[in-house]
Copies of this chain bind each other. A is one copy, B any other.
Amino acid sequence: MSILRALAVSLLVSVPSAVSLTAAAGEVAKSEPLVIEAQGSFAVGGSVIATPGTYANDQPTAAGQTLHGDHLYAFYQVPTQPKALPIVMLHGAFQSGRSWETTPDGREGFQTLFLRRHFPVYVVDQPRRGRAGNSTVEMKIEPVPYDQLFFDQFRLGIWPKYFDDVQFDRRPEALNQFFRSVTPNTGPYDAQVIASSMSDLFSRIGQGILFTHSQGGGPGWLTAIRNPNVKAVVAFEPGSGFVFPEGEAPATMPSAAGPLPAETVPLADFQRLTRIPIVIYYGDNIPTEPTTRRGEDNWRVRLAMARLFVKAINAHGGDARLVHLPEIGIRGNTHFMFSDLNNVQIADQVAGFLAEKKLD
């Protein structure tokens, strides 16, 4: 870690001038510059709502006008010598595609790390979030102060103290960047709206691998059920929307963060999740016994539910695996393991899985 941390220091310190940014970034990159064959962005999916009436060019009102909304936004990059299957990265709650771009301490995120491994990468803003902000349903956005709860719930520590072993840079600017990665919903959260546009994305780009984070887990399973172009799912700390066949759902799990219900889908839908490799990662500092601290207890039940989900998939003949990182000796990871200090080590884990499943 010490080399990575030293490089991160040089990056942050040298950012004030573009020239030194280049120099510092060159150091971090070490290996080669990125060679990109194509990059760009587009919208996919969504719907159109219309107001009855006739549009008047000289006195425009809502009458006769339409609104395009509920699409997702994707930024793509295709490296040279691309692997056959691209990776689609779907963020979690209160986040955007920015989750995958850069770490809070300024190092490369999974977007760039997997481009270096020659995967085409699509980074998504889900419908009603970030650059895909146009919603067909209204919503009031209020400046609710969440920082301290997020510190707890995303397992940086127990506010105001970091966990001793946490894989998070403790300089104030890293925490500032972390808090400023938060961005609100611009319409009501709707897993089906998200899954619909994600399925449209896979119809557009063809076969690929789906990475999900946290709240993105639920729409992720629904996307894999909808579209056979999803050839594998790598889920980082899925937080809700665990699906089970009808009649096989486990009991709702109570926690200090509220009850976590299992969700159900028809057996035929569930069986689609048994036809692709699935891996789920959870990080460190998740309590094994109930606690009154909401941020921590939230993950106790989610990890437990994920274990039952994996068991159900495999009981139906599937190929799912849950990796609880501390059990394989990887310590200190937060809820954002893909941007933690050891995110290259995490990328190695994921790349190993993809290689094992012959997906690279």
Q: Which of B59, B82, B133, B179 contacts A183 (CB 8 A)?
A: B133
List chain B residues, Cβ under 8 A from A344: none
* A206 B18 Cβ-Cβ under 8 A: yes
Q: Which of B18, B158, B293 contacts A78 (CB 8 A)?
A: B18
* B57 A158 Cβ-Cβ under 8 A: yes
Q: How large, as a class, is the contact surface on chain A?
A: 35 or more
When each residue 33-60 of chain A gets 1 if its CB lies under 8 Å from chain B and 0 otherwise, what string results? Answer: 1111111111100100111000101111
CB of A192 within 8 A of chain B?
no
Q: In the assembled complex, how far is the CB of residue A87 from the closest CB belonging to chain B, in whole angstroms?
A: 10
When each residue 108-135 of chain A gets 1 if its CB lies under 8 Å from chain B and 0 otherwise, what string results? Answer: 1100100000001000010001111111
List chain B residues, Cβ under 8 A from A69: 143
Q: Which of A138-167 contact B (CB under 8 A)?
A: 138-149, 152, 158-159
CB of A136 within 8 A of chain B?
yes
* B33 A36 Cβ-Cβ under 8 A: yes
Beyond A69-B143, A205-B18, A208-B18, is A293–B57 a contact (Cβ under 8 Å)? Answer: yes
List chain B residues, Cβ under 8 A from A3: none
Interchain CA distance A41-B97 in the complex, whole Å = 10
* A43 B152 Cβ-Cβ under 8 A: no
List chain B residues, Cβ under 8 A from A130: 96, 130-131, 133, 183
* A183 B97 Cβ-Cβ under 8 A: no
* B133 A64 Cβ-Cβ under 8 A: no
CB of A288 within 8 A of chain B?
no
CB of A256 within 8 A of chain B?
yes
Q: List 23 A-B contacts (CB under 8 A).
A: A15-B205, A16-B204, A17-B206, A19-B206, A21-B76, A22-B38, A22-B78, A22-B82, A26-B37, A34-B37, A40-B101, A40-B102, A40-B112, A50-B145, A62-B144, A62-B145, A67-B147, A68-B182, A97-B131, A132-B180, A132-B183, A134-B184, A136-B143
A contact residues vs B (CB 8 Å cutoff): 15-19, 21-22, 25-26, 28-29, 33-43, 46, 49-51, 55, 57-60, 62, 64-69, 71, 73, 75-76, 78, 80, 82, 84-86, 96-98, 101-102, 106, 108-109, 112, 120, 125, 129-149, 152, 158-159, 176-177, 179-184, 186-187, 203-208, 256, 292-295
